[in-house]
Amino acid sequence: MVPIHPDDIPPQDVLDKAKQPLSRSLTASTDPPEIPVGGVFEKLKREAKAHNERIKSEGQPYNALIQTLEATVAMVHYHTQETSIRSMSEQRMGGSSSTYRGGNIDCCVIELELQENIPVQKLKFSGWPHLEIGDTIRAYIFTGKKEFEKDELTGFSHMRQTRTHPNPPSYLLLRNYKTTERPNTIEKLRDGNVVAIYNNLKVKP
């Protein structure tokens, strides 16, 4: 054992201070800050109110959001996909429903690649319209998106139908073109005149 010299022993007042607990002022800095929960909800409510006012002012009817696009067909791809029909009346408890082949007629899809250097590079259309490379077309594209109102009491969005909100308020707003679009209608043009019109199902937002 190494002998301790009397000069190496700290004074008694230093030893007494070391035994004392840390002061409240020193420990206070390590405590987590209090989160104003009420303030967070008030902020969400203000943001919800501003969101609702914005989409109400920017909302437009469906037909007002249909834009026309003229382009030249660069390539045409025809696709078919077999469908299936599932009978719910034959569903068995603990088992699966019977499935029957539905054929290809309902799943004919055409993909049109466009020549122009524009945001829309491809069009998808149900059915097989008679279109070929070099054809000039005019596509009617729905460029809208659906946005739901937010609950101004809670600040949260009505993202889908629920029991308490069976019909959440929503509005259609203008969006940018996508790289691939699904037009409602395609017109085939020749010398600036419409020579054929191909109608599709109404595209849903």
* pLDDT tens for each residue of 194-203: 999 999 877 8
The candidate with the shortest Cα–Cα distance to 112, out of 70, 66, 174, is 70
d(CA 122, CA 105): 23
pLDDT of residue 165: 60
pLDDT of residue 73: 98
Please report, rounded to a whole number, the percentage of residues in the chain having pLDDT higher than 70.
64
Decide if 114 contacts 74 (C-beta within 8 A).
yes
Q: Which residue(s) pair with 108 in the sheet?
A: 80
Q: Which residue(s) pair with 69 in the sheet?
A: 139
pLDDT of residue 25: 47
Least confident of 6-20, 39-53, 127-141: 6-20
Mean pLDDT of 175-191: 97
pLDDT at 185 over 90: yes
Mean pLDDT of 155-159: 67
Decide if 59 contacts 173 (C-beta within 8 A).
yes
- Averaged pLDDT of the chain: 80
pLDDT of residue 14: 54
d(CA 113, CA 123): 7
pLDDT of residue 162: 57
Q: In Å, how far are 69, 107, 154, 155 from 75, measured between CA atoms? A: 17, 20, 51, 48
pLDDT at 167 over 90: no
Q: What's the chain's Rg over C-alpha atoms?
A: 34
What are the phi and psi torsion angles at 48 (to 5°)? -65, -40
pLDDT of residue 154: 75
The candidate with the shortest Cα–Cα distance to 79, out of 109, 113, 124, is 109
pLDDT digits 0-9 by tens, 38-78:
688 788 889 999 999 999 999 999 999 999 999 999 999 99
**Torsion sign, CA atoms 176, 60, 169, 52:** positive
Angle at 95 between CA 93 and CA 96, to 5 degrees: 120
pLDDT at 108 over 90: no
| Residue 48 CA from chain centroid, whole number | 18
d(CA 158, CA 108): 35
pLDDT at 112 over 90: yes
Which residue type is seen at 7?
A: D
Mean pLDDT of 176-189: 97
Residues 6 or more apart whose Cβ sits within 8 Å of residue 115 = 71, 72, 73, 74
For the full predicted model, state whether its pTM sits above 0.85: no
